[in-house]
Amino acid sequence: MEKEIRMPNHIGIIVDGNGRWAEEQGLSRSQGHLAGFKRLKELCIYAQELGLKYLSLYVFSTENFKRNKIEVKFLMDLFSEKFHSEFQEVMDLNMKIIFSGRRESLSKKILKEMDIMTEKSKNNTGMVINFCINYGGQLEILDMTKKICQEVVDGKIKIDSIDLETISSHLYQDLPMLDYIIRTSGELRLSNFMLYQASYAEFCFPKTYFPAFTNEKFYQAIVEYNNRNRRFGGNAS
């Protein structure tokens, strides 16, 4: 059965519900984030086994800086530590790690780990994992617009030659459009996730909190995707 499944080319996961999961278990929010990251790692390995090519993970939005300082620091330290400790496994699994988001406001410590990960994994040919950290979809569109305007001013691009390809290649990462967006925890919103790339994505909103979003539940979400009829504006088949 698993062999016959058709994988989307690019999946986006909005990792949500770590805090509520922890609360339900009588644990701290930090423990929820730890459990969430552990689950995330296992899910990445499983997704690659299923043949996924591109996986974008929304793990920290620009807006998440509004959270209390202790939680923000805990998350940033967790990301830095995990990028460091999981580095060898990423290499062994041949995964390529890239990042989307603004560098400003991120500490030197996390930027260093992100840069090492990007540089060392850049020639890997397995699944591409795009971590969205300090990411906001509106800001990505703003930053893309500024980059293109600057190149027009510098005479590198002519206004008439700007097309959709120009837009993709000036976003944080030049990735294929999202085919499927999964947001755990039951919230029915994008919260500023990859607004441009989401233009024709299918959506899935499992009610499960992320740390409890098992490989089986992920597989069920893929089965659901296989039952969708993607028309892209054409006639129903």
**Catalytic residue list:** 16, 64
15 binds, among ligand IPE, Mg ion, none (CB under 5 to 8 A by kind): ligand IPE
Task: Give min distance, CB of 64 to ligand IPE, in A.
Answer: 5
Look at residue 46 and give its three-state secondary structure.
helix
The only residue of 8, 12, 15, 204 in contact with ligand IPE, by rule CB under 6 A: 15
Q: How far apart are CA 230 and CA 116, in angstroms?
A: 38
DSSP state of 102: -
The phi, psi pair for 58, rounded to 5°, reads: -90, 105
Q: Minimum Å distance from CB 16 to Mg ion?
A: 4
Under rule CB under 5 A, residue 179 binds Mg ion? no
**Residue 61: contacted member of Mg ion, ligand IPE, none (CB under 5 to 8 Å, by partner type):** ligand IPE
Task: Out of 8, 16, 33, 55, name the contact with Mg ion by CB under 5 A.
Answer: 16
Kindly report the three-state secondary structure assignment for every residue of 191-210.
CCCCCCCCCCCEEECCCCCH
Three-state DSSP at 87 gives helix
118's CB contacts (< 8 A; 6+ apart) are 97, 98, 99
Smallest separation (angstroms) from Mg ion to the CB of 205: 13
List, in sequence order, every residue forming a beta bridge with 203; answer none if it has no partner: 181
What is the token pair recorded at 232? 């892209």
3-state SS class at 13: strand
Q: Is 60 in the site for ligand IPE (CB under 6 A)?
A: yes
Q: How many C-beta atoms lie closer than 10 Å to residue 82's C-beta?
A: 16
Q: How far is the CB of 133 from ligand IPE (least distance, A)?
A: 8
Q: Is 212 in the site for ligand IPE (CB under 6 A)?
A: no
For Mg ion, give the closer residue by CB, 3 or 66. 66
Residue nearest to ligand IPE (CB): 19
Contact (Cβ atoms closer than 8 angstroms) between residue 96 and residue 122:
yes
Say which DSSP state 33 is in. H
| CB-nearer residue toward ligand IPE: 193 or 225 | 193
Q: Is 93 helix (H, G, I), strand (E, B) or coil?
A: coil
Binding to ligand IPE (CB under 6 A): which residues in 163-202? 185, 187, 189, 191
| Site for ligand IPE, residues 121 to 160, rule: CB under 6 A | none
Cβ proximity to Mg ion: between 16 and 113 the closer is 16
Pairing of strands 128-135, 96-100: parallel
Question: Which residue, 16 or 179, is less far from Mg ion as judged by CB?
Answer: 16
- Footprint of ligand IPE (CB under 6 A): 14-20, 58-61, 64, 75, 185, 187, 189, 191
> Which residues bind to Mg ion, rule: CB under 5 A?
16
